[in-house]
Amino acid sequence: MPQQKAIDWGRLVANVPDGFVCTDERGRVFIANRAAERMLGREPGELLGKPLADLIDVRHLRKTMSAIGQAAPTRTNGRRKDGSLVALEVSLADHEMPWGRVTSAVLRELSRCDRTNSAGRDIGRETFLATAAHQMRGPIQPILTSLRTVELALASGNPPPPDTIPRAIRQAVRLGRLVDAILSDAAAMERGALKVKIEEFDIAALAVDIVEDFRMASPEHRIDYHGPANGVLITSDSGRVHQILNNLIENAMKYSARQNPVNVVLSSLDGKVVVRVIDAGIGIPLAEQGGVFGKYTRGSNVPVASSGLGVGLYMARGLAERLHGSLTLESEVGRGSAFSLVLPKEWQGNGSDENAETEGC
341 neighbors 275 (Cβ within 8 angstroms): yes
Task: Return the domain boundaries, the chain.
Answer: 9-110, 118-348
Question: Thinking of the domain 118-348, which architecture would CATH place it in?
Answer: 2-Layer Sandwich (3.30)
Report the SS3 class of residue 140: helix
Distance CA 282, CA 288 (A): 13
Helix (H) or strand (E) segment spanning residue 128 = helix 112-155
Largest distance between two CA atoms of the chain: 92
Over its C-alpha atoms, the chain yields an Rg (Å, rounded) of 29
Give the pLDDT confidence score for residue 128 in this predicted structure.
52
Whether this prediction's pTM lies above 0.75 is answered by: no
- What top-level class would CATH report for the domain 9-110? alpha beta
**Count of other CB atoms within 10 angstroms of residue 95:** 11
Tens of pLDDT, residue by residue, the chain (361 residues) = 344 444 566 676 777 788 999 998 898 999 899 999 999 999 999 999 999 989 988 776 666 554 445 556 778 888 998 888 888 888 888 877 777 788 888 898 876 545 445 545 554 555 555 555 555 655 676 777 777 788 888 888 888 888 777 777 777 766 665 665 555 565 666 666 778 899 999 999 999 999 998 888 788 889 999 999 999 999 999 999 998 998 899 889 888 877 889 999 999 988 999 999 999 988 888 888 888 887 655 555 454 434 444 567 888 898 999 999 999 999 998 899 999 999 999 998 765 565 667 665 4
Give the pLDDT confidence score for residue 2 in this predicted structure.
40
The string of pLDDT tens digits covering residues 145-186 is 777 788 888 888 888 888 777 777 777 766 665 665 555 565
> For residue 270, is it left (φ>0), alpha (ψ between -120 and 50) or beta?
left
